[in-house]
Structure 1
């Protein structure tokens, strides 16, 4: 085992807590619909709450012959329309949580529709579309701006989280994760970081996607909330 792998594993053990406590699994590389749901509902909530919403969506789609794990943004919009709109979707699948604590803030189900419509309007219908956009600075900036214009999404946290959820586990490393590894080892090349994460996960017996996500959450959290999702 290389010194770099040993050092990175030690840093992860120091900073990320017990791997048994990392929630998971992470990501939906073939389901933009699930990425959107997770990203919109994750802030300010235990991930168990989000998992219940995801499970209700999966169950609803399966009962009608659909496959939530391959649904894109158009399928999500069709599902909301089928149920009769954001209020009915919130009652059947989501929940009544608003996008913020501000008086009159819209429900997250309404924000979910807005972001899905914005993505479709930009030609982002699937996770592969999103991954392609994320690699193009100009297109990514446009998509991020459209997403962040929706109530409750201004901070950009949920946009970054959306992109992370859509990634293929272990293929690349998010910039926040690269930054973490850079501080630990000095490595800053995305491919090198991805290789190091794979080596650490294999050495420690950790799931590579869970490790990547745990580091991302640690880096993205406010200093007083290390390991927890930030609020939008």
Structure 2
């Protein structure tokens, strides 16, 4: 990839979405619900913000605003698995990428809840305690960040 002025501008513009009006990092959108944080993170990449809001709104409508990762996992299981959950609970069957046969984002959500369970994480506070200050930086990334980045379509650590 050639680095140009326009590519640098694009990168800067993309990074600005993570900053508030004062140029400070945005606070966690759902401080009381790791379930909603997971949904927001996994549905936001490559999606219109309205689509992400629709997913979280549908989840909130059915489960409220304070679920942890464990409750999200139970929701998927109770629906009959990720595909049924995607169709019937959140009404979004978007795949992780545009490749033919790509898995649904709902499957990645299900796998993300397993990552949290494997590390004894159910709440936002527990996740923040587990990842520390800089969870995704280089080879020093902690085990939770490494497990997250091992999820399908999460290699960059962007979400």
TM bracket (short chain)? 0.7 to 0.9
Structure 1 position 104, deviation (Å):
1.9
Q: TM-score, normalised by structure 1?
A: 0.52
How many matched pairs? 132
Q: Deviations over 1:178-205 (max 9, x none)?
A: xxxxxxxxxxxxxxxxxxxxxxxxxxxx
**Does residue 1:51 correspond to 2:53, yes or no?**
yes
Q: Which one of 37, 42, 48 corresponds to residue 39 of structure 2?
A: 37
1:135 matched to 2:132: yes
SS across alignment from 1:70? coil
Runs of 4+ in 1 over 4 A off after TM superposition: 136-140
- Of Structure 1 and Structure 2, the greater helix share is in 1
1:74 to 63, 70, 73: 70
Which structure has more relative contact order (CA 8 Å, sep 6+)? It is 1
Can you give the 5+ residue segments of structure 1 that lack an aligned partner in the other structure? 1-14, 62-67, 159-232
Q: 3-state SS of the aligned residue for 2:47?
A: coil
- Over the residues paired in the alignment, what is the CA RMSD in angstroms? 2.4
The equivalent of 1:157 in structure 2 is 158
Deviation at 1:102, TM superposition (A): 2.4
Deviation at 1:137, TM superposition (A): 6.5
Report the alpha carbon displacement of residue 133 of structure 1 after superposing the two structures with TM. Answer: 1.2
- Aligned mates of 1:142, 1:108 — CA distance in 2: 22
Question: Could you tell me the TM-score, scaled by structure 2's length?
Answer: 0.75
